[in-house]
Amino acid sequence: MTDSGQILRRSIGIVFSDGGLLALTSTLPPGRGEHGEEELVAVLCDPDAAPVEFEESLLSTEYGEDGVQRRATLELWHEADDGRPLRGAGTLISSIAVKRKGLDAEIAFFRWSVEGREGLGHYEVARAGG
């Protein structure tokens, strides 16, 4: 996949070995074009607890020469003033490109570690396509 189209959406879903889940999605509002203008939302669901939504979520991605996401890091802040975020990182296992009219997506399967919790999940990057 090439990185020629504008990124419209990024989404992550992680299933931890302890049964917990983490979901993150970012979208680019209409009329916006910059990476920093994305709206990100993240939710953590522990196996025996209520879901926790984060006030601020940061997602950084390293892409390979082929445009596929190779590594990602997360910073999830419960409160903007809180002293320490929840941090995590993921690395590529494999990926597949999906092309639809008007939308090209690269769906990568990642191995994740978030604050020592191991998990597997996906990281999808959807771009405006032809």
Domains held by the chain: number: 1
Pick from 69, 68, 127, 124: which is nearest to 103 by CA? 127
Residue 2 lies in a domain: no
Q: Which carries the bigger pLDDT value, residue 86 or residue 79?
A: 86
Q: 45: buried, middle or exposed (CB in 10 Å: 19+, 13-18, 0-12)?
A: middle
Confidence of residue 2 (pLDDT cuts 50, 70, 90): very low
pLDDT(1) > 50 = no
- CATH code, domain carrying 23: 2.40.370.10
Per the domain annotation, does 122 fall within a domain?
yes
* Average pLDDT of the residues in 105-121: 97
Which string of DSSP letters, residue by residue, matches 27-47?
A: E--TT---GGG-EEEEEEE-T
Instruction: Evaluate if residue 51 carries a pLDDT over 70.
Output: yes
Assess contact for 110 and 10: CB atoms under 8 A. Answer: no
Q: Residue 33 pLDDT more than 50?
A: yes
Whether residue 1 lies inside any domain: the answer is: no
Please indicate whether residue 34 or residue 62 has the higher confidence score (pLDDT): 62
